[in-house]
Amino acid sequence: MYESYRSLKIERRGAVLVVTLDNPPTNAADIGTHRELSTIFDDIARDDATKVVVVTGAGTRAFSAGGDIDVMLDQLTNTESLKLQFDEAQRMLRALLALEKPVIARINGHAIGFGATLALFCDISYAIETAKIADPHVGVGLVAGDGGALIWPLLIGYARAREYLLTGDAIKAAEAAMIGLITRAYATMDELDTATYAMAERLAGGASRAINGTKTAINLVLRGQVEGLIAAHSGLEFISEFSADHREAVMAFKDRRKPQFNGN
């Protein structure tokens, strides 16, 4: 079932399926990763051998550092690729929320932009304390339209979420756990692994029909909001892709300099 996946590494641990974003060194969401994330949760839904999913990143540096700069450069002119990426991002969120099986995010390093969105939409999120979580879309001249503007306010309230989303500032995982952005944070990688896989095994060994039904019930409101709003959020980001500020941010990143925004 998973033989065709290349950007995602798929491992089975009994009834637990581990999905690893494997694009070192920062596991940025390149074309392959984006495409495979748009299909993986639908495939897992059809996988009777899997009861629980763990999503993580390869290595210790990053869960996922968000968008890939080479993709951003290409999409300054390649509108077909850009539209496809937006469609794939929406499909991923819908499939992730519709999946009845519990999904645990093992945040092994920084979760930025699209990486933060993926982690925060998981059912349970455990992180290493030193990991930074941020949605810095505004820092590259983009609207936070891939789900961040929806999930951050729901998790930590509008007042806090506005500050983080309008500035793009990062928050350390230890503080993120304190304010409810993620579930828990752990001091060492060993502690993170122990907690993640102990919870995965506990859920896998539980009353699956009851657990899956409870997850479905919890997600009904969130799924309704995603269905009603994600196309509009995505559309706002899509428009911002054609702004002068976004082009300036991408070129500045390429040239290793600070962007000079003019508000256009």
Domain ranges of the chain: 8-187
The region of weakest confidence among 59-63, 73-77, 198-202 is: 73-77
- Position 236 confidence tier, pLDDT thresholds 50, 70, 90: very high
Would the pLDDT of 55 be above 90? yes
Superfamily name with CATH number, domain 8-187: 2-enoyl-CoA Hydratase; Chain A, domain 1 (3.90.226.10)
pLDDT tens-digit series, residues 161-213: 999 999 999 999 999 999 999 999 999 999 999 999 999 999 999 999 999 99
Rounded-to-integer distance, Cα 51 and Cα 154, Å: 27
Q: Is 60 exposed, middle or buried (0-12, 13-18, 19+ CB in 10 A)?
A: exposed
pLDDT-based confidence at 76, cuts 50/70/90? confident
What is the phi/psi pair of residue 132, to 5°?
-105, 140
pLDDT level of residue 75 (50, 70, 90 thresholds)? confident
- The confidence score (pLDDT) of residue 1 equals 86
- Strands across the sheet with 103-107, in order? 8-13, 16-21, 52-57, 103-107, 124-128, 184-186
- Cα angle 234, 156, 204; round to 5: 85
What mean pLDDT comes out for the span 212-222?
96
Alpha-carbon span 56 to 158, nearest angstrom = 27
Among candidate residues 86, 85, 104, 84, the one with its CA nearest the CA of residue 44:
104
With cut-offs at 50, 70 and 90, classify the pLDDT of residue 100. Answer: very high
Residue 57 has pLDDT above 80, yes or no: yes
Digit-coded pLDDT (tens) for 10-29: 999 999 999 999 998 999 98
pLDDT surpasses 80 at 160: yes
- Nearest one of 199, 179, 53, 192 to 130, comparing CA atoms: 192
Distance CA 214, CA 96 (A): 15
Q: What is the pLDDT of residues 142-156, one digit of tens each?
A: 999 999 999 999 999
pLDDT of residue 66 exceeding 80, the answer is: no
The mean pLDDT value of the chain amounts to 95
Residue 125 has pLDDT above 90, yes or no: yes
CA distances in angstroms from 69 to 24, 249, 254, listed in the order given: 14, 10, 8
